[in-house]
C-alpha cells in the first residue's frame, strides 16, 4: 500500500502542496506554545513542517518512504526540525499519554482499522490534549477533488465522533469546502472535521 503513495509522491512537486491544511491552520490557536504534536499520515510533510515552523515540538508518522524523504527535505528547506517516523500506523508502537495534540488530515482506513487507529490517537493524547481531525465525507464521492472512492473509507462527522469516547467535542462539522492543496486536492469537496479535548477527569 505504501507503493501507492510512493508513486503519488514521485514527482518533484508536492502532491498536496507545501502549505498547511486550512482546517488545521484555523484550529492551531488552541495549542499552547511549544506543545508536543503528533501528526499522523503526514505524507510529504506540509502540516508537520508548518507546525514546526510555528514553534511546536513535532513528531510525524507516514509509511511512504518517498513522503518521509520529502518531509525531511521540506523541513531542511524551511529550516525547521521535527522527528519523522517512516512506519505503518497499523503496526507502529504508538506512544501512550505523550502528546498535547494529535493531528490527522485526510487519513482514511477501512472501518475496523479506522476504529483501531482512532483509539490509538486518543490514547496518545495526554489528558487535556487536543485532537484536530479532518477527512472526506461520503458526499465526496460526487466530487472530483480527490479522496478514496470507497464509501467505507469515508465518514460522516457522526461516524467520526463515534470513534472517540474520551473527548469533549469543541467543534464537529461537515460540509462543502474549496480545496486548494496542490494537484492532489483541487476544487470543491465535502469534508467532515472535528476538534476534541481529551477529558482530564472521568466522573464515576
Ligand X SMILES: C[S@@+](CC[C@H](N)C(=O)[O-])C[C@H]1O[C@@H](n2cnc3c(N)ncnc32)[C@H](O)[C@@H]1O
**Strands of 36-40's sheet in order across:** 83-86, 57-62, 36-40, 99-105, 125-136, 185-198, 167-181
Helix (H, G, I), strand (E, B) or coil at 57: strand
CB 122 within 8 A of CB 131: yes
CB of 128 to ligand X, least distance (A): 24
Mutual orientation of helices 65-78 and 46-53 as an angle, nearest 10°?
A: 30
CB of 47 to ligand X, least distance (A): 6
Note whether 20 binds ligand X by CB under 6 A: no
Identify which range of 77-85, 102-110, 163-171, 188-196 contacts ligand X by CB under 6 A: 102-110
Task: For residue 80, give the nearest of 54, 42, 100 by alpha carbon.
Answer: 54
CB of 152 to ligand X, least distance (A): 15
Count of residues of this chain found to bind ligand X when the rule CB under 6 A is applied? 19
Name the β-bridge partners of 59. 38, 83
Please say which residue, 45 or 196, places its beta carbon nearer to ligand X: 45
CB burial of residue 177 (10 Å; 0-12, 13-18, 19+): middle
**Binding-site string for ligand X from residue 42 to residue 71, where x marks contact by CB under 6 A and - marks none:** xx--xx-------------xxxx--x----
CB of 199 to ligand X, least distance (A): 26
Note whether 105 binds ligand X by CB under 6 A: yes
Strand-pair category, 57-62 with 125-136: unpaired
CB of 89 to ligand X, least distance (A): 4
Note whether 23 binds ligand X by CB under 6 A: no
Where along the sequence are the contacts to ligand X (CB under 6 A)? Answer: 5, 16, 21, 41-43, 46-47, 61-64, 67, 88-90, 105-107
Amino acid at each position: 500500500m505504501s507503493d501507492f503513495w510512493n508513486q503519488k509522491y514521485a514527482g518533484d512537486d508536492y502532491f498536496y502542496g507545501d502549505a498547511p491544511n486550512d482546517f488545521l491552520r484555523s484550529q492551531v490557536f488552541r495549542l499552547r506554545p511549544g506543545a508536543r504534536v503528533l501528526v499522523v499520515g503526514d505524507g510529504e510533510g506540509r502540516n508537520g513542517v508548518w507546525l514546526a515552523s510555528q514553534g511546536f515540538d513535532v513528531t510525524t508518522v507516514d509509511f511512504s518512504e518517498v513522503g518521509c524523504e520529502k518531509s525531511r527535505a521540506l523541513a531542511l528547506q524551511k529550516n525547521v526540525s521535527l522527528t519523522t517516523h517512516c512506519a505503518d500506523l497499523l503496526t507502529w508502537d504508538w506512544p501512550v499519554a505523550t502528546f498535547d495534540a494529535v493531528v490527522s488530515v485526510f487519513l482514511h482506513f477501512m472501518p475496523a482499522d479506522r476504529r483501531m487507529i482512532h483509539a490509538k490517537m486518543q490514547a496518545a493524547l495526554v489528558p487535556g490534549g487536543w485532537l484536530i481531525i479532518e477527512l472526506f465525507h461520503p458526499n465526496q464521492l460526487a466530487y472530483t477533488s480527490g479522496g478514496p472512492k470507497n464509501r467505507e473509507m469515508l465518514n460522516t462527522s457522526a461516524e467520526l465522533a463515534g470513534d472517540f469516547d474520551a473527548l469533549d467535542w469543541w467543534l464537529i462539522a461537515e460540509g462543502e469546502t474549496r480545496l486548494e492543496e496542490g494537484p492532489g486536492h483541487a476544487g470543491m469537496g465535502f469534508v467532515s472535521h472535528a476538534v476534541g479535548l481529551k477529558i482530564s477527569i472521568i466522573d464515576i
